Structure formats: structure tokens, C-alpha cells
């Protein structure tokens, strides 16, 4: 997606060989027109897939996912990263390890909102080692629902998540793939 | 907002005299068309206000806020509820006490995304005691920015936040105001 790649090239900050900060338009401040454009791109790719539900993870996945959900006319469910007071039981739970934050956390989705008849599209902001995607896929499996595909805004192509998911023959659609962040430079695939 | 009030009446679950669960369309599963309608309502009310930025709090504020931001053509910044690895310094920080969760947490916004010239609209999903709004207002003050107004999806009119903010002559626009949740019944103002 040309507009996204340009924006990453202009405003992305390389913090290390494997950390890219895009807080000015995706992860903290959000550009709503870009989010809409991202939603339109995911819609183009996945529109024939008979999707019934979109799943994402709080918080940065919500904006691209809600724009896609609006186009596809399906509900969005976001997985929570910790259990809330009003959601203590009746939950699908999986564990996700974040290599960036060096922590393992629970992700939860209420059993009220994911069913065996659902055809689910996962949307997330980043794909690195694929741990978040695996956690969401685990929950889809617990619900006996079907995974239709995964839409990713930025894939770190130099980490293993993308290859691991494509090896499973999942329809993975990444709008920008970073080949390398070495020497403070962003190289795209 | 009639469509929202109908939805709360149909799908809201009264958990106690002061807890309303709207997880099926706002706080966990999200109805994208309703989120768009909410964004349109906020836009109608605030469009003449020369807003330069929208502020919200992760996670449930993001969907209504991004729809409003798309209409108003301004960036959205969401405050984080805990410090992240890539955002350790250069932060505005305030404290928010949640009566529902019985905990006090930090909310943070990067100093890169809020400036003295900003005219800020706060958008949030719920208004109860007004603690989250006060935290965001504190951050706006730390940045020497101007608060233009506050848009709330659901105000619990029987708690003190709404009166407290209106007493400060803030332009508070709540799309649905709950008068009471007593005896398991939802009464609107």
C-alpha cells in the first residue's frame, strides 16, 4: 500500500535493528484518513470471503479493524489484554508472549461474541514473531470458528511471524513489509 | 441520539444499580455502523469549534473517536493506561481512579503529540464520576492546550461526573444519559 509505505518512510523512527516506532500515525497518534485507507485495502483483499466477524487486539488494532468492519458490515470484537471486572467468567483465554515487552499476558474474548458458525478475519497493527496472531487463532479454534485470513498493517519481514503463518497456508495480507531496519534505515520488501 | 438509546434499551445489561454492561456493541464487541453514527453526531455538535486534535483513552474510546476524527479531519491521540517500552520519557502523565475497578492508574500522552496551540475535543465511551475526563483535562492543561469540549457516548446521569463538568461550563455533549439503573431497569433522562 503505497500511501502507507510512504508514511512509514517519512515518519517511522528506527529505534534499533528490530524496533520501529510509528507512534505519530498508528500506535499512539492516529491518522484517521490513513486508517480509513487501510480499512479500504483490507476490504478489497478480503471482501469475497464471506466474513462474519473481525477480531483484533486492543489497542492499536482497533482503528484499522473498525474501518474494515464498517466496509464489510460485520461486528468487530477486540480481545482484551487483561481480565476486566465485568468479564470474569464465560471467557475464551489464550496466552501471548511479547518479545518487545518481555512479558506474557492473557488475551480474553467473551464466549458471547464468537461462535462455531463464525468466519473470522484477524486484523492487527504489527506482525513480528506472530505470537498475538497465534493467540487469536487459538481462541478461534476454542470457539470452533473458522479463520478466513489475517490482515496486518506492518509486517516485520525479518522476523519469523510472516513465514510461520504463510507456511500454515493462511491468507496473510500485509500492507507494508519491512525487510530490514539495520543501520537505522528502513528497507521495504 | 435515538438509535443509541434504542440499542442500550435492547442490548444493555444492568449488572447492578450503577453498572451497565454494553459489551455487545461498544465495550468489547463493537457495531461499526453505530460507531459511525456516533462519530456523525459528535461531528454535528462540535464541527464549528475549530478542533485541531481529538483525545481519548484506550480502548473503548478509540472507535467512536476515530470516526469523529475522520469527519473532522484531525488526528486522534489515545492516552495509554500504562507506560510502554518505547514511551518511557517525554510524557504527560496524570492519575485516574476507577471506582468500578477500584484502582488508580497512570494515563500518559507523549509530548510529541499535544501542543499549546491545540484545540482539543475529548471523546470517551462512558462518563460516571468524571475521573478519566479530569485526567485528560489535566494533561491538556500540562500542555497549555485548550479544551474545546467533551463528547460522551453514555453518561451515567446518577453519578456526579456530568454535573461536575457542566459546573465548569464545559461543552459536554452526551449522546445518551442514563437517569437510573434501579431494580434492573434502564431509565433515560
**pLDDT digit string, tens, across residues B2-11:** 999 999 999 9
Interface-testing mutation among B19, B31, B32, B68, with chain A (most A C-beta atoms within 10 A): B32
Backbone angles phi, psi at A52, to 5 degrees: -110, -15
Q: CB of A184 within 8 Å of any CB in chain B?
A: no
> Which cell numbers hold the place of B163?
454535573
Cβ contact B28–A59 (<8 Å): no
Q: CB of B75 within 8 Å of any CB in chain A?
A: yes
Cβ contact A63–B66 (<8 Å): yes
Mean pLDDT for the stretch of residues A90-117:
91
pLDDT at B87 over 80: no
Note the pLDDT tens digit of each residue in B6-29: 999 999 999 999 999 999 999 999
Residue B6, Cβ neighbours under 10 Å: how many? 11
Q: CB of B77 within 8 Å of any CB in chain A?
A: yes
The interface predicted TM-score of the complex, written ipTM, equals: 0.96
Mean pLDDT for the stretch of residues B184-189:
96
CA distances from B46 to A94, A151, B120, B133 (A): 41, 33, 11, 17
**Per this entry, what is the length of chain B?**
189
Sign of the torsion formed by the C-alpha atoms of B84, B86, B88 and B90: negative
Query: Residue A26: what pLDDT?
Result: 98
Q: Which residues of B touch A15 (CB under 8 A)?
A: 86
Amino acid at each position: 500500500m503505497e500511501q502507507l509505505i510512504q508514511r512509514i518512510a517519512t515518519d517511522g523512527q528506527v529505534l534499533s535493528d528490530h524496533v520501529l516506532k510509528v507512534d505519530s500515525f498508528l500506535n499512539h497518534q492516529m491518522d484517521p484518513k490513513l486508517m480509513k485507507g487501510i480499512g479500504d485495502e483490507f476490504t478489497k483483499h478480503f471482501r469475497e470471503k464471506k466474513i462474519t466477524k473481525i477480531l483484533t487486539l486492543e489497542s492499536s488494532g482497533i482503528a484499522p479493524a473498525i474501518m474494515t468492519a464498517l466496509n464489510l458490515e460485520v461486528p468487530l470484537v477486540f480481545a482484551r489484554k487483561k481480565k476486566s471486572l465485568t468479564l470474569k467468567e464465560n471467557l475464551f483465554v489464550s496466552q501471548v508472549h511479547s518479545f518487545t515487552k518481555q512479558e506474557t499476558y492473557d488475551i480474553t474474548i467473551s464466549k458471547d461474541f464468537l461462535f462455531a458458525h463464525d468466519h473470522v478475519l484477524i486484523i492487527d497493527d504489527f506482525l513480528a514473531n506472530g505470537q498475538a496472531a497465534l493467540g487469536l487463532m487459538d481462541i478461534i479454534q476454542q470457539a470452533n470458528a473458522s479463520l478466513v485470513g489475517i490482515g496486518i498493517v506492518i509486517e516485520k519481514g525479518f522476523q519469523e511471524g510472516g513465514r510461520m503463518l504463510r507456511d500454515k497456508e493462511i491468507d496473510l495480507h500485509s500492507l507494508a513489509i519491512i525487510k530490514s531496519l539495520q543501520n537505522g534505515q528502513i528497507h521495504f520488501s
